């Protein structure tokens, strides 16, 4: 993946399937005035994000650019449990805009930090996976990976009455 940070937090996370140049071009298009430099701590951050058991419970700082509506949609995406999926219509309902399914879909597609804001958790109401910037195979793999990781977590037991 390609991860970019500002002093305020992670501003870009993209999978590098099309090659490094394509990923860097996308990053440059989002942040045209930025100065880019490699840092060794990015590998540590990548391990924290993706390695099993590496999440330490500390919140990640994000530096996002988006409209108020996009931010509302991204906040709703974060509330979808790992391994679960919702349809665009349910997401539109969750942000209080049930008639704005297409606008919600556009906000999902504009997500600048793949995986961190889990846009891969949105599917069509027919159950089809739909479009995903990094392809259907990656979307299916991310959902399966999350489901497998959460399947091993013990469920909370209810107290006896």
β-strand pairing of 122-123 with 86-87? parallel
- Alpha-carbon distances of 137 from 12, 122, 130, 140, 144, rounded to whole Å: 21, 14, 11, 5, 11
Contact criterion met (CB below 8 Å) for 129 and 89: no
Residues 6+ apart with CB under 8 A from 73: 91, 95, 104, 107, 108
Catalytic residues: 119
Q: Residue for token digits 């089809």?
A: 128
H-type helices in the chain, by residue range? 20-30, 41-50, 68-78, 88-94, 101-109, 136-151
């Amino acid at each position: 993946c390609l991860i970019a940070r500002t002093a305020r937090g992670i501003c870009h996370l993209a999978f590098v399937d099309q090659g490094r140049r394509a990923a860097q071009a996308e990053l440059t298009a989002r942040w045209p005035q930025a100065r880019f430099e490699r840092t060794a701590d990015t590998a540590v951050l990548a391990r924290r994000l993706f390695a099993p058991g590496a999440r330490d419970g500390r919140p990640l700082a994000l530096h996002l650019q988006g409209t108020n509506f996009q931010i509302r949609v991204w906040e709703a995406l974060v509330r979808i449990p790992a391994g679960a999926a919702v349809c665009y219509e349910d997401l539109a309902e969750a942000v209080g805009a049930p008639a704005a399914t297409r606008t919600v879909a556009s906000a999902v597609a504009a997500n600048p930090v793949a995986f961190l804001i889990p846009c891969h958790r949105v599917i069509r109401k027919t159950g089809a996976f739909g479009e995903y910037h990094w392809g259907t195979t990656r979307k299916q793999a991310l959902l399966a990976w999350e489901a497998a990781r959460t399947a091993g977590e013990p469920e909370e037991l209810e107290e006896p009455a």
